Chain A
Amino acid sequence: MIFSSNPARGSRILNGLALLGVTAVLGMAFFWQFAYGELPCPLCLLQRAALIMAGVGFLLNLRLGPSPMHYAMSIAAALGGMLASGRQVLLHIAPDDPGYGAPLLGLHFYTWSFIAFVAIIVFCAVMLSADRKWGDSMLKKPVSALGVLVMALFFVATLANVGSTTLECGFGPCPDDPAGYLLLDSAAPR
């Protein structure tokens, strides 16, 4: 057992930065959705859900201290995300297929998403080999104001996704090629 008032500080800062990265990716996808009017398809939404699940592992590392279980949560979520984004890459891999949505820096969002999930797994692999001495603890650790801000931003990004997905799909399945916000369209006067 290690006695310290603020154990694994460095590791928790790195996990905070990883959580900030996940929040930035979710924010970028959200910005693209509203700035360019591109609605996320069901597979895109599944990739967002996987990003949120991966972020929860980093959030627990930041809040409770690093644990192999928290890293395993992020790795499992990233593997799920790779499955969804890999499937979407394969859907549009045929020659002359324009892909879904506008590309960013030459790559479509699902390709960037696949790269992000690989990066999450690499990050977890490196951290798991460096973070060996802390074990597992369910006790809350002190979090700085910046850490609280990062967690709050992640919460807001998740909440915004709940709202946007509900507006887009309502309380049912999403169409494969969404054309508008289902709830807004049904509420608009005819």
Chain B
Amino acid sequence: MVMMLPFLTGLAAVWFGMLGKRRPCVTFWLLTLAIFAAWCQYHMTSPLALSF
């Protein structure tokens, strides 16, 4: 699990977006979203300290 990875792919999406190249921009954006979802699963599965 590399925490800096979604920032790196996000940076690539921003770069291609600035250049006006939508296809590579959206590809990197989707890659960022997939990594984001995987990292969310990694960090959000511990139980909450709530007791109802």
Residues of A within 8 A of B (CB): 42-43, 45-46, 48-50, 52-53, 55-56, 59-60, 63-64, 69, 73, 76-77, 80, 83-84, 87, 90-91, 93-94, 97, 138, 140, 151-152, 154-155, 158-159, 161-162, 165-166, 168-169, 171-174
Q: Given A83-B40, A158-B14, A166-B4, A49 and B50 touching (CB < 8 A)?
A: no
* List of 9 A-B pairs having minimum Cβ-Cβ separation, nearest first: A140-B20, A169-B3, A173-B1, A165-B4, A59-B17, A52-B10, A49-B6, A162-B7, A174-B3
Bound complex: CA A56 to CA B8 (Å): 13
Q: B39 contacts which of A46, A53, A87, A155 (Cβ < 8 Å)?
A: A46
Closest to A55 in B: B14
B18 pairs with A76, CB closer than 8 A: no
Name the prevailing secondary structure of the A interface residues.
helix
Bound complex: CA A151 to CA B33 (Å): 21
On chain A, the residues within 8 Å of B44 by CB distance are 43, 83-84, 87
A171 pairs with B7, CB closer than 8 A: no
Bound complex: CA A42 to CA B8 (Å): 16
On chain B, the residues within 8 Å of A161 by CB distance are 7
Residues of B within 8 A of A (CB): 1-4, 6-8, 10-11, 13-15, 17-18, 20, 22-23, 25-26, 29, 32-33, 36-37, 39-40, 42-44, 48-50
Query: A156 CB to closest chain B CB, in angstroms?
Result: 10
Bound complex: CA A172 to CA B1 (Å): 6
B36 pairs with A155, CB closer than 8 A: no
